[in-house]
Amino acid sequence: EVQLVQSGAEVKKPGESLKISCKGSGYSFTGYWLAWVRQMPGKGLEWMGIIYPGDSDTRYSPSFQGQVTISADKSISTAYLQWSSLKASDTAMYYCARHRAGHCGGDCYYFYYMDVWGEGTTVTVSS
Amino acid sequence: QSALTQPASVSGSPGQSITISCTGTSSDVGAYNYVSWYQQHPGKAPKLIIYDVNNRPSGVSNRFSGSKSGNTASLTISGLQAEDEADYYCGSYTSSSSLYVFGTGTEVTVL
């Protein structure tokens, strides 16, 4: 069974660092892009960024560039989303999702759709 | 990059058909057949229900269908059922950033 299993809920204080994880199984982890999606309380989905675990090619939505770091350890089929200094506004549910994509030449990729989703990790930042 | 525009809410009675629109630009919806739709029930992760404008993943009911005209994509739910009550999001590749963008989301209520 193809699945993504995310780490558990986190409660942190402003200014603290955090790294959450997403472990893939049932498919070739290095052969698919993996995206992170934010959902703030009562709000919609926001596409944060994406990584190709095979070579760690990483791309960020302009809204999240410089705010978070996406990484992956292909040896353990796990991707990560991390913050160096959390803010209250980082309080949200974070989902990882396998992202289907197609190559359009050079470093160009078309990002098609997300077909497998993790269950989500709740991050609460409060003093 | 701006989110694709969806109506905040759509409602219908059981058995009826409803359509949710997703309006983008010539840099995303209008330029590529890479529109997808996701269903999200409260407290649950999103689920892919339509990809590449009008394709259904295995196991998704054929009551869900997608289409596109110009810069606007649409999701139609026919034979509306109580279990269809959820939030729906469209998404598309966008050349403005060479990445991906979601729609603003639509809450579907079954009356």
Q: How does DSSP assign B30-67, residue by residue? A: TT-S-EEEEEE-TTS--EEEEBTTTBPPTTS-TTEEEE
**In terms of CA atoms, which chain A residue is nearest residue B57?**
A115
Tokens representing A93 are 């549910």
C-beta separation of B74 from B54 below 8 A: no
Q: Which element (helix H / strand E) includes A113?
A: strand A109-117
Q: Which of B19, B21, B25 is nearest to B2 (CA)?
A: B25
Residue B1 in this model has a pLDDT that exceeds 80: no
Residue A120's pLDDT is 98
Chain B positions contacting chain A at CB under 8 Å are 1, 3, 32, 34, 36, 38, 40, 45-48, 51-52, 57, 87, 89, 91, 93, 97-105
Residue B109 in this model has a pLDDT that exceeds 90: yes
Instruction: Give A104's pLDDT tier (boundaries 50, 70, 90).
Output: very high
| Span B12-25, average pLDDT | 98
C-beta separation of B66 from B77 below 8 A: no
Residue B71 in this model has a pLDDT that exceeds 90: yes
Residue B73 in this model has a pLDDT that exceeds 90: yes
Cα–Cα distance, B87 to B6 (Å, whole number)? 11
Q: Which residues of A touch B38 (CB under 8 A)?
A: 45, 114
Tokens representing B23 are 């309006």
Interchain CB distance below 8 Å, B1 and A62: yes
Query: Which of A46, A59, A112 faces B93 most closely, judged by CB atoms?
Result: A112
Please give, rounded to a whole number of angstroms, the shortest distance from the CA of B93 to a CA of chain A.
6
| pLDDT (tens digit per residue) in A18-49 | 999 999 999 999 999 999 999 999 999 999 99
Interchain CB distance below 8 Å, B104 and A114: no
Residue B2's pLDDT is 87
